[in-house]
Structure 1
Amino acid sequence: MRYDCLIVDDEIELAETTCEYFNLFDVSSAYVTNAEACRDFLRENTVSMLLLDINLGGESGFQLCKELRLTTGIPILFISARSSEDDVLVALDIGGDDYIHKPYTLRVLLAKVKAVLKRYGNESSSEPESIQGGPVQINPDLRRASVNGVPLKLKTMEYKLISYFILNKNRVIPKEELFTAVWGDVFAGDGTLNVHIRHLREKIEQNPNDPQYIKTIWGIGYAFEDK
């Protein structure tokens, strides 16, 4: 089955209440209370995003996030009562897309989730099951990417960027178009784009300093060449 949101939280009552509230407002949701149940759920179902607690009984949400990032680029929002700056930085550094402190207001959390789903959630539902560009294959339904069959560990924006490149391969894409299509209403500049391009080249090119696929078109933007 397909869900908008999976809540992974060992506080059963809170997870259940949040799930019920989301479903009431047409955000199809489910919840699990530990990391292993999350793995089992994702093997059987497709979700557009995760709400992930850090403390999951015997396992860490941080470790689960790092594991999931090996195979999926879906948005992961951490929800936690832990409020130290170090926890927030770790969460974002390992692939989390946001960090929401407990206790949270259901109405505000729902608004955040809907914003994420609007930005990332369902825009690829009409696309083919998988799309190939050079050595890279993307699966829009699962929001996963691989290079030469090896799963890529991508953050959300990296996944969106490589997907946009492959969907528009062999075409020069101006930087302004990438800002609008990939980042939407989130502020981004040349520095942000350059960092993401460098990271993608390091992950898919044999020689990132002499890229064969993600080409810089000086003064305009970039092109993904699929020869």
Structure 2
Amino acid sequence: MRYDCLIVDDEAVLAETTSEYLNLFDVKAAYVTSAEECLAFMREHEVSLLLLDINLEGASGFELCKELRRKTEIPILFISARSSDDDIVVALNIGGDDYIRKPYTLSVLLAKVRAVLKRYGGVKPSEGILRAGSLELDCNRCSLRVGGEEVRLKTLEFRLLAYLVRNRNRVLPKEELFREVWGDSITGDGTLNVHIRHLRTKIETDPDNPRYIKTVWGTGYLFEDGGA
């Protein structure tokens, strides 16, 4: 059976309430309260999006995220009452796609979930192959080759890179990237910055002196083709 969203949170009442709310608005959701239950659920069902708490009984959300990233590239949105910048950076560095602080507003969470689901899968098949310098993006398969070698990207990383390439040689404000890639204006600078850093480590020869993705301080980013 296919589910749009699985909530993994040891606060059972909150998880149940969130699940019921999402289902009311035609987002098919379920919830579990532990990492073990999550893995069992995903063995039996197809899940498009994960809402993952950090504090879980047994294995933490961080540990679960690392394990899942060895098997799947579905979007993982962390939901946590922990607001430390260190926690946010860790969550994004280990494979999380965004970080939502508790307490969250159900209507805002619904909007974010819908936006990610709408954009899940990345780009339209009609866009075919995008090329820039030594990069080749296959939009049908959501795959990337750098200098002929395949490079693995998370779903949102691919979507971000594809948007940058499609809009090459134009300064892209952060607000536009939030809207067009994440589908909302709620995503923070930290999430975007971490994704840009991850992309640079995967496509740049020297990530500290990028050839493709340039920072435009105070505004956003610019993707320069870099020639053939």
What TM-score results when the alignment is normalised by the length of structure 2? 0.63
* 1:76-115 correspondence runs (5 A): 76-80=77-81, 83=82, 85-86=83-84, 89-95=86-92, 96=96, 97-101=98-102, 104=103, 109-115=105-111
User: Which residue identity lines up with residue 17 of structure 1 in the other structure?
Assistant: T
Offset at residue 135 of structure 1 (A)? 5.2
SS, match of residue 94 in structure 1: helix
* 1:38-187 correspondence runs (5 A): 38-42=38-42, 44-47=45-48, 49-69=49-69, 71-72=72-73, 74-80=75-81, 83=82, 85-86=83-84, 89-95=86-92, 96=96, 97-101=98-102, 104=103, 109-123=105-119, 127-128=124-125, 133=130, 134=135, 148-152=149-153, 156=156, 158-166=157-165, 168=166, 172-176=168-172, 179-184=174-179, 185=185
SS, match of residue 125 in structure 2: coil
Tell me the C-alpha RMSD between the 2 structures: 4.3
Matched, 1:18 2:13: no
What TM-score results when the alignment is normalised by the length of structure 1? 0.64
- Mapped to 2, the partners of 1:150 and 1:217 lie a distance apart of 23
Contact persistence 2:213–2:223 (CA under 8 A): yes
Offset at residue 186 of structure 1 (A)? 5.1
Output one character per residue of 1:123-162: Cα deviation in whole Å (capped at 9) or x when no partner: 356733996553555678xxx76654453368x5x44421
User: Which residue identity lines up with residue 60 of structure 1 in the other structure?
Assistant: S
SS, match of residue 105 in structure 2: helix
Offset at residue 114 of structure 1 (A)? 2.0
Structure 2 unaligned spans of 5+: 180-184
Q: Percent identity?
A: 38
Change (3 A) 1:165 1:12: same
Change (3 A) 1:118 1:217: same
Count, aligned residues: 205
Structure 1 unaligned spans of 5+: none
SS, match of residue 22 in structure 2: helix
Change (3 A) 1:89 1:192: closer
